[in-house]
Amino acid sequence: MSTRLTARRRAARTGQYLALLGYLVFLAFPLLWLVSTAFKPPRELASLHPGWIPDHPTLDNFRQAFDEQPLLRSAGNSLIASLAAAAITVVIATPMAYVMARHHRSPLSRAATGWIVVSQAFPFVLVIIPLFLVLKEVRLIDSLSGLIMVYVVWSLPFALWMLAGYARAVPRELEEAAAVDGASRLRTLISVTMPLLAPGIVATALFAFITAWNEFFFALVLLKSPQKQTMPVILTHFIGTEGVADLGPLAAASLLATLPSLVLFAVIQRRITSGTLAGAVKH
Amino acid sequence: MIPVTAASARSDQGSAPPASTASGKGPGRAANGHRAWFLVLPALIPILLLSVGPLLYGIVLAFTDSQAGRTDPTQWIGLLNFQDLLRDTLFWESFRIGLVWAVAVSVPQFLLALGLALLLHQNLRFRWLSRALAIVPWAMPEVVVGIMWRLVYHPDAGLLNETLGTHRDWLGSLSTALPAVVVVGIWARLPQVTVTLLAGLSNVPRELHEAAAMDGAGAWRRFRTVTWPAIRPIALAISALSFIWNVNSFALVYVLTGGGPGGRTRLPMLFAYEEAFRYGQFGYAAAMGCVLVAVVSILLAVHLVARLKGDDDA
């Protein structure tokens, strides 16, 4: 009896490890292929049996990528748009999130929560067409400022959601203690609440940065001139109208475009899952 | 009303009323009244101007003949756009593809993610590796995910053909294009859904699980009676979200196929994008957006009703 049970358990364990292996292969192989392609010289890419590991790994693809497309400038554009969007988002979202956390039953907070939920459901087309027309009217089309404004509003729902979660976690009695000690309301907010909220604000800002850095649709629609375009848009230029032109530089540029958000995401990953989803369940 | 204790304040979801200090002068009230407005305005103004406003304007546009570069004033044309949409076979085709795509991605993605979450919840070796790897697709720009899979599907230098020893043009042939992009769709957000469900699994009371096992409940029974009820809210939330994300997909398929071959992968968002920004049919594309909003709202409402009903049962 007991031997049969352990045999069954062993079979189950084996099955589990096989499933895990399948997942790892599914997850990792496309990624490894991207990396491998980025370091392959053209001759190996054109060969009938391109291998996993380049025989003669090269950095030429990276150099060629910079030659073919204005990568550096587009990275600069992406950096400006993402930094500005992240900064503005947290500056305007933090006070509102604080109010939502402390007065979550007020009509305003309810409306805000409703808007946060609804804004997840809207097809971007319905918003982008009027936005395009309005921004064109005020001459903010084909400008990074216009794109930044759109990014701020685009990341606001999630930023409010995250920040309100963090603000709820700040113990109210600490603020009360400060008030008892004679601190003014503003002073309490600045010297008691904000420091406690700081890690949440940083996480939210990084998240807004990644969102803007990775964004494609709005940038595609709103930016026309090549010298203003962001990195994801420039990446698509490597793909000619008739399919892929140069695989090596394409892969190399793609890797470079991924690095910033990958590093930042690794830093805040735990906070995103624990912070926001805990909030999602409790709501 | 209720005195705030340390415990209630910390676990508090804001259930204590704002004026909780005895004097009513505490910082709990700091954001009350006109002060709250002062704190809220910086976010509220952009929301109204750049989100709510355009949304309403977009609905209005759907009833007009707004076009790019026209000189005569835009006319109110009532339901004409919607009537045209009804007759537009290309629109219905893309609508159908969109639904097939959203279901074909969301359902397997959820089931796979659920299985993986249960798997990774176990004490397995190498699970750190899958957690570490899972970050990458999540953090990647969608454009890069698309480019990466183009490399995998490439007819000559692709990983898939190399592995299978074939020379198929997976993204370029009518029969394989949609299945090929569906696989990418599943890949792209599988980690996100998995990690979300994994977070939900940490809510499952371990003692209850062990007690059920002691009583001789099998794995399926333990899942149904202990695990599922605990992760149900988070599972419903993430499944609804991922479905909406998939309905609104754009970048992934735009990069992979551009909607081709022969419109086989032309999702509604790609169709609307072309109508609006290639052919300049703003009013028509806005009407399309309205139809999509309506459909998604109905599906979401059904989902929410199911969720509320489930909560009553619990």
Of the listed ranges A4-13, A32-41, B291-300, the least confidently predicted one is A4-13
Q: How far is CA A131 from CA A196, B108, B166, in A?
A: 37, 35, 46
In the predicted structure, residue B283 carries a pLDDT above the cut 90: yes
Of the listed ranges A208-217, B84-93, B109-118, B298-307, the least confidently predicted one is B298-307
From B42, which residue of chain A is nearest by alpha-carbon distance?
A92
Is B229 within 8 Å of chain A by CB? Answer: no
Alpha helices for chain B (secondary structure H): 6-11, 33-47, 53-61, 80-87, 89-121, 127-139, 142-153, 159-164, 177-201, 206-214, 219-222, 228-247, 251-256, 268-277, 282-313
pLDDT in tens, B134-173: 888 989 999 999 999 999 998 888 889 888 888 888 998 9
Which contiguous run of DSSP H or E holds residue A239? strand A239-240
pLDDT of residue A243: 57
Asked if residue A20 lies in contact with residue A4, where contact means CB atoms within 8 angstroms, the answer is: no
Asked if residue B176 lies in contact with residue B264, where contact means CB atoms within 8 angstroms, the answer is: no
Q: Are residues A79 and A200 in the same domain?
A: yes
Distance, in Å, from the CA atom of B272 to the CA atom of A126, rounded to the nearest integer, reads: 9
pLDDT of residue B30: 43
From A72's Cα to the closest Cα of chain B, the distance in A is: 17
Distance, in Å, from the CA atom of B248 to the CA atom of B241, rounded to the nearest integer, reads: 11
For residue A100, the domain's CATH number is 1.10.3720.10
Omega cis (within 30) before A95: no
Highest mean pLDDT among B11-25, B127-141, B293-307: B127-141
Which amino acid is located at B131 in the chain? R
Q: Is residue A121 part of a domain?
A: yes
**Which residue in B144, B184, B248, B267 has the most chain A C-beta atoms within 10 A of its own C-beta, making it the best mutation to test that interface?**
B144
Q: Are residues A149 and A176 in the same domain?
A: yes
Mean pLDDT score of chain B:
83
Quick count: other Cβ atoms within 10 Å of Cβ B127? Answer: 18
pLDDT of residue B94: 94
Q: Are residues A142 and A72 in the same domain?
A: yes
Within 8 A of A176 by CB-CB distance, chain B residues are: 4, 21, 26-28
Q: Is residue A281 part of a domain?
A: no
Asked if residue A28 lies in contact with residue B159, where contact means CB atoms within 8 angstroms, the answer is: no
More confident of the two residues A170 and B6:
A170
pLDDT band at B187 (very low <50, low <70, confident <90, very high): very high
Q: Is residue A182 part of a domain?
A: yes
Q: Is residue A283 part of a domain?
A: no
Say whether B33 sits in a helix, a strand or coil: helix
pLDDT band at B132 (very low <50, low <70, confident <90, very high): confident
What angle separates helix B228-247 from helix B177-201, to the nearest 10 degrees? Answer: 150
pLDDT band at A256 (very low <50, low <70, confident <90, very high): very high
pLDDT band at B207 (very low <50, low <70, confident <90, very high): confident
pLDDT of residue B24: 38
pLDDT band at B186 (very low <50, low <70, confident <90, very high): very high
Distance, in Å, from the CA atom of B157 to the CA atom of A38, rounded to the nearest integer, reads: 12
Boundary-marking domain end, from A57, A82, A99: A57
Q: Are residues A85 and A144 in the same domain?
A: yes
pLDDT of residue B131: 81
* Domain assignments of chain B as residue spans, ordered by start: 81-313
Q: How far is CA B73 from CA B56, B64, B81, in A?
A: 20, 10, 17
Quick count: other Cβ atoms within 10 Å of Cβ B57? Answer: 18
Is B9 within 8 Å of chain A by CB? Answer: yes
User: CA B171 from chain center: how many Å?
Assistant: 24
pTM of the model: 0.86
Q: Are residues A39 and A122 in the same domain?
A: no
Question: CA nearest A75: which of A229, A238, A211?
Answer: A229
Whole domain around residue A70: which residue ranges?
Answer: 63-276
Say whether the ipTM exceeds 0.95.
Answer: no
Q: Is residue A282 part of a domain?
A: no
**Which residue in B95, B148, B204 has the most chain A C-beta atoms within 10 A of its own C-beta, making it the best mutation to test that interface?**
B148
Question: CA nearest B118: which of B230, B214, B245?
Answer: B230
The DSSP 8-state label assigned to residue B75 in this structure reads P
pLDDT in tens, A46-83: 776 777 888 788 888 899 889 888 899 999 999 999 99
What residues 71-110 of chain B have any CB closer than 8 A to a CB of chain A? Answer: none
Average pLDDT over residues B297-303: 81
Q: Is residue A74 part of a domain?
A: yes
Asked if residue B123 lies in contact with residue A16, where contact means CB atoms within 8 angstroms, the answer is: no
B256 Cβ contact partners less than 8 Å away, ≥ 6 residues apart: B146, B149, B150, B171, B180, B181, B184, B265
Mean pLDDT score of chain A:
86
Domain B81-313: give its CATH code: 1.10.3720.10
Which residue do the tokens 């009407």 mark? B287
Number of domains chain A is built from? 2
Mark yes or no for CB contact B42/A173 under 8 Å.
Answer: no
pLDDT of residue B147: 93
From A150's Cα to the closest Cα of chain B, the distance in A is: 7
Q: Is residue A169 part of a domain?
A: yes
